[in-house]
Every structure is written in C-alpha cells, then in structure tokens.
Structure 1
Amino acid sequence: MVQAFEKVYDSHWYIMGKELKSFEEEYANFNEVAYAIGVSNGLDALFLSLKALGIGKGDEVIVPSNTFIASLLAVSSVGATPVLVEPDAFSYNLSPKNINERISKNTKAIMPVHLYGQACEMDEIKQIADSNKLFIVEDNAQAHGATFKGKMTGSWGDLNATSFYPGKNLGAIGDGGAVTTNKLELAEEIRMLRNYGSKIKYNNEVRGHNMRLDELQAALLSVKLGHLSNWTYERNIIAKLYGEMLKDVAEITLPFVHTDATHSYHLYVIRTKKRDELKNMLYQMGIETLIHYPIPPHMQKAYAYLGHKSGDFPLAEKLSKTSLSLPIWPGMSPSQVEFISHQIKSFFKRN
C-alpha cells in the first residue's frame, strides 16, 4: 500500500491517469464484465447509471423497501420517482414475486440491491425486466464477488453501480465507486458524464459532472483487489462459525443464503425481538454492533413527499426494528467469534 502511494505521489499525475485505467481493467476482469468505469463514490455510480439510461422526470424506478437511502437518492437525483417493493422474508433482498404489481406505464428500471453481500434472485428479476422492456441497474455496493447461479453480481444489469467506501469489502482510503457494464456505448457515456461531459479536454458534448475516481484511490484499490477473494473466503469461514455457535439460540434468526446465491458477508446480520437490549449488553462488554438500517426509506423525512405511512411496508419496518449486524472482518479470530457468541447465548439465558 505504501509503495502504491509513493508511486502515485512521485508520478505527479493524480487524475485520469494510468493507475485508473489499470484498476478499471483489473476490476472489470474480476467482475467478469467488459468495462468498469471508476467514479467518485457509490451514490454517484448509481446516479450516473440512471442518467446514462435517460431516466428522469416522470419515470419510475423500482427499489427495495429495505435498503440504504442512497438507492433512493440516486433515483430522485435524476428527477425520477422511487417505487418501493417489499423484500423477500428470508434473504431480505428485493422479492421478484412482489415486483410485477408495482410496474406501471411509467416504470423504466428495476434496481436490485444485493443487501448485506448476498446476491438477489437475478434470473427472475432479469426475466421480469426483459418481458416488460425495463432496464436493470444493480446496486452492488455491498456484494463484491458474490454470485447468483455462478454469475457475478454487477454483471447482470445494463449498468451496475458499486461503492469503494472504506468500510466495504473492497474499500478505498476515502470515497470511491465504479460502474460496470458489458455495453460499450453505455460505458463511453458514463466515461463522458463523469468527466464534465467531455471525451476530449475542453470539448464538452453534454452537461456532465466531476465524478472521477482519482489515481491514488485507484492504485490502492488495485493492491487490495488482489486480496479480495481470500478476504471473502475468510468472511464466509467466520460466518459459518457464527452459525455453528448460535444455531441453538431460538430467540435469534440467523442469515439465510439462497441455494443459488453466494454471500460475500459484507455484514453478518441476525434478527431478534430483543435487538436493542442485546445491542446495549454487547456494547457494555466492549463489542461494537450496528443497525442496518434503523429507519426504513419510506419513513425518512426526505421521502415524506411519496406519501407513505407507518404500516405501508411492514416487512421493511419489522427488519428495521429487529436487525443487528455483528462484527465481521478478515483476520477476525475464532476466539473473538466464540467470545461474542458466548455473550449472546448468555444474554438469552438470563432473559
């Protein structure tokens, strides 16, 4: 990592150089797509994808009701309307069976979010999109390297967005993101939109943006990318150990993995009715946990204009009140997993 930093620093070339080009090629190869375009962050990757597809005012985009707010922000940022769909009760991902009833004459795209690191049921989602002539824009921010039926997340859609936020499985030292695609015309459009609407310097073809991944982040990500498969393997080993340690605790629901999906375990999320009490106890024992996510998008003040109320998306609301993300990271020791699991089991024995 230090060598990568020094190489960029000494090159005196910090934007749109060979480090970015190299990383884009490496990430496209990793993600099994023809093109990857480095951009400023995951939200911008989603925004640019929707904009490149011509989605805007008067259009609708189907988004899961259980997701991080960025999925909706990208839709509203291009002037379109997010249309929420309840997730699957087991995987917590966008449920194919709930999509059709939300499609209207204004629907232009479906945005599957591979939540927590598990791939959505992309074959059915793609079938629905194709039969209704809709675009697919995958939100692949949490699932680097995950697959559905052997095909990588981030390779199913017309355009697909990912994030390299520092906490992601493939994280930069700062913000970063990328758009992946197999379509040359769309890749060129994204490249132009991220760079002031310009292919040639000072020649601006469209009203673009400054949303580029810089050389330093690209160089650091290239180093980390070489370790990502091993890190994902480690995360799966840790998740398996959690499962073995906690399988007999009746009061919690462990993560479910679809038989055709793989999971990159960006997050290890359990569910319990005593979530808040458990979280507080673990904190007192020096164990940090997080809630993903405490307020569903339809209950956020920013989206009050959609007119939703409490009870409109009961499963998303239930998940927001019962989900708890336990610590998981590459290098986490079995003894740490055992200690956390022991504290959880002891809590429920006492309660």
Structure 2
Amino acid sequence: MTTTLAKIPLMDLKQQYLSLRGELVAAATRVMDSGVFILGPEGAAFEREFGAAHDAPHCAGVSSGTSALQLALEACGVGPGDEVAVPAFTFIATATVVSALGAKPVLVDVDPATLTMDPKDLAARLTPKTKAVVPVHLFGRPADMGPILAVAKERGLRVVEDCAQGHLARYGGRCVGSLGDCGAFSFYPSKNLGAMGDAGALTTADPKLQELFIMLRNVGRKPGGHYEHVRVGHNCRLDELQAAVLRVKLPYLAAWTEAKRKSAELYRRALAGLPLRLPPEDAPGMRQVYTLFVIQADRRDALSAHLTKAGIGNGVYYPAPLHRMPAYQHLGLGEGSLPRSEAASRAALALPMYAELTEESIGRIADSIRSFYQG
C-alpha cells in the first residue's frame, strides 16, 4: 500500500486563521457593531501599538504597502525630475511608486550574499538629481543601513525604508523603520503581520512627516478639518476592519517571528553540505525575521520542479530584476548592467516558511533537496 505524503505549502495562512478564528470574528463584529469603518478607534489604537512595537513615536495606517511607499516619498519632497535610488532586485512596487510621482528610479545592484542594496554601488550611481534612496529589507533581512545612511548623509538624501518584509527586524539593535527618515510597511496577507486584504503603515520620528502622512492619506485634508483640503492628496486610509484584524494578530507577532527564526536554523543544519547558498546568518546587532527563506541554487528551475513534484511548495522571488521587466525597458539597461541582481534572479528560490512549519516537514524538504543533488 502506497502512502501519500501530505503536501507542504510554501506558506499556510489557513492554519494561522483557524488558531485565531474566535478572536478575529469578535474583532470584526466589534467594528460592525460600532458603525465606524474609516479613521476610527481601531485604526488609532493600532497605530499606537504598532508604532510602539517598532520604536517609532509616530505611525500612520494606510491602505497598502505600496501606498505607504508613495506617500513617504511624496512627503519627502520627491517629484518630477528627481531620481530615487532603489535596488534592482526587489518587488516592482519599490520602483513604480517612484515613477508614479514623475521621478526616475535609479537601479542599484545588490550584495550577492544578502541580496540587499550594495552601499558601494549606491554611491557610484548617484547623480545631482538624486533626491532619495529606498533600501529594501528583503525577505526579512535588514539592508546594510550603516553605510547606506552614511552615503545618504554625505549627499543630503532622504532615506525611506521599504519594510514590507521587515516587521520586527532589527539592525544595530534598532527596529527597521526607525533608522531612516521613515519606514513603509505592508500588511499584505502573506507578510509576517498580515491583514485580511490590503493594508499598510508608515513609521517616523519626525512630527512634520507624520502630519504630511495624515493629510496625504486623507485627500489632503487638514488634520481635524472636514472640508479643509490644504493640499492635493490621495484616498488611501486604513479601514477599521483591517485595523481590528491587525490588532488581534500583533500580540502574536513576536512568537511567530521566533518560530520562523528557529525554522531558519533547522534549515541551515538540514541543508549543510549541499551546493546551495543559504541566507547569511545575523550580523552583530541584527535580527532577521524570515518573511521568506530564500536559497540560491544552481539549476534553480529544475530544483523547483523536483520539489513541486514531491508535493513541496516553493516560489521564485524574483524571476527578473527590475531592468529586465517590460515596465522598465525604457531605462535602457541591458543584460549585464546589474550583474549581481541578474544572477540572483536566476538562482533565488523560496522554501516553505511559516510559524507553524514543523521540524519533520523541514527534514522532508531537506531530504528532497538532497536527493535532487545527490541522485
């Protein structure tokens, strides 16, 4: 009799939901019973709680991580004719928000091991038009913020941290989102702290930026005003239902993060000796949060197919760097322009990673990878 092994998903949102179902239903019911659905007490409470968890005196909830990035850059004065430095190996929203403001994304290559922005390449690609830099804390690993901040200070640049994958991550002992001028967070459902739909937030220590965030998210309305629109703004507010969901989940985030960090260590031991490039371990003062566990593998596509056939979820993050996507062909950056980002897009493969992942499952994943390389 043949035993069929259960599939191991890349991520498992349903397990998390089932463990919190009662609390989530109660939170949603509380919002519905209140009759307040936009900019109410749930959103205000979540902003206080999330800001406190991330060492941020100010926090503004918005409708998505993409909205957070765009509002951050707009509040920092980015507009037509400006340039903004972003990594070439990232989700495209990091660059599209720059384009949406009429500015030009300047693509920076990444470190081949960490896959985050290379500070030396950043310095080499700046021009007099560069207004800001957006380091991405990719896959839950903080970018090398010390040198990046030094370059930015020397050149007078604003620093907007893309923290979409960095909830509770730390660099130099400080939470990401508190290192630059501001941080932009996403609560897309698959993130370490995920809503039940789109949601995002901005963090900052600058009260002037916070005032701009509040106005920009709410059609340029003066704080406390009703039809007093003091500037052109947007409609990208965090709704009360999503805020209530996030408030249920936030107290569990530290434990979920620790579970993922333990899984990462199990992966390191289980995959030792294989011809793979694993995510580097924490640098001193750093705390990765492993939104994704991304290896770099030769014959990546064949390995992906092998895992899929074995019932093991996996994903390619990301299949092309930004300059090789149709949306940014107009930048005129051909093959070889950003070689480390190009190499990463050929090798990166995400393995299953979620708080409920078991040691047994990690062993099975490792055995499957070992069988691929060793026949």
Structure 2 length normalisation: TM-score? Answer: 0.92
* Matched position secondary structure for 2:135: coil
Alignment of 1:312 with 2:305, yes or no, is no
Please point out which of 104, 112, 133 is paired with 1:89. Answer: 112
Q: For 2:39 and 2:155, how far apart are their aligned partners in 1? A: 38
Alignment of 1:39 with 2:62, yes or no, is yes
- Tell me which residue corresponds to 1:246: 271
Alignment of 1:50 with 2:73, yes or no, is yes
Please point out which of 273, 278, 283 is paired with 1:259. Answer: 283
Q: Report sequence identity in percent.
A: 42
* Matched position secondary structure for 2:33: helix
| Contact kept in structure 1, 2:112 and 2:344, CA below 8 Å | no
- Tell me which residue corresponds to 1:278: 303
Q: For 1:282 and 1:273, how far apart are their aligned partners in 2? A: 14
- Tell me which residue corresponds to 1:124: 147
The residue identity in structure 1 corresponding to 2:245 is L
* Matched position secondary structure for 1:203: coil
* 1:270-292 residue CA offsets vs partner (Å, 9 max, x unmatched): 11111111110111111110000
TM-fit CA distance, 1:308: 1.0
| Contact kept in structure 2, 1:36 and 1:181, CA below 8 Å | yes
Q: For 1:277 and 1:101, how far apart are their aligned partners in 2? A: 36
Structure 1 unaligned regions, length at least 5: none
Within-5 A mapping of 1:86-165: 86-165=109-188
Question: When the two structures are aligned, how many residues end up with a matched partner?
Answer: 349
The residue identity in structure 2 corresponding to 1:22 is A
TM-fit CA distance, 1:258: 4.5
Q: For 1:70 and 1:242, how far apart are their aligned partners in 2? A: 30
- Tell me which residue corresponds to 2:13: none
The residue identity in structure 1 corresponding to 2:105 is P
| Contact kept in structure 2, 1:20 and 1:215, CA below 8 Å | yes
- Aligned CA-pair RMSD: 0.8
Q: For 2:179 and 2:146, how far apart are their aligned partners in 1? A: 9
TM-fit CA distance, 1:159: 2.0
| Contact kept in structure 2, 1:112 and 1:139, CA below 8 Å | yes
* Matched position secondary structure for 1:160: strand
Alignment of 1:292 with 2:317, yes or no, is yes
Structure 1: which 4+ aligned runs deviate by more than 6 Å?
none
The residue identity in structure 2 corresponding to 1:107 is T
Structure 1 length normalisation: TM-score? Answer: 0.98
Structure 2 unaligned regions, length at least 5: 1-23
* Matched position secondary structure for 1:204: coil
Within-5 A mapping of 1:312-331: 312-331=337-356
Q: For 1:208 and 1:259, how far apart are their aligned partners in 2? A: 40
| Contact kept in structure 2, 1:247 and 1:254, CA below 8 Å | no
Within-5 A mapping of 1:192-207: 192-199=215-222, 200-207=225-232
TM-fit CA distance, 1:248: 1.3
The residue identity in structure 1 corresponding to 2:320 is I
* 1:297-342 residue CA offsets vs partner (Å, 9 max, x unmatched): 0011111111111111111111111110000000111101111111
Q: For 1:262 and 1:274, how far apart are their aligned partners in 2? A: 30
Q: For 2:188 and 2:240, how far apart are their aligned partners in 1? A: 16
Q: For 2:144 and 2:346, how far apart are their aligned partners in 1? A: 25
Please point out which of 36, 42, 49 is paired with 1:26. Answer: 49
The residue identity in structure 2 corresponding to 1:55 is V
The residue identity in structure 2 corresponding to 1:81 is K
Q: For 2:29 and 2:308, how far apart are their aligned partners in 1? A: 39
* Matched position secondary structure for 1:137: strand
| Contact kept in structure 2, 1:91 and 1:258, CA below 8 Å | no
* Matched position secondary structure for 1:141: coil
* 1:5-46 residue CA offsets vs partner (Å, 9 max, x unmatched): 111111111000000000000010001011110001011100
| Contact kept in structure 1, 2:116 and 2:137, CA below 8 Å | yes
The residue identity in structure 2 corresponding to 1:253 is R
* Matched position secondary structure for 1:185: helix
* Matched position secondary structure for 2:203: strand
TM-fit CA distance, 1:90: 1.3
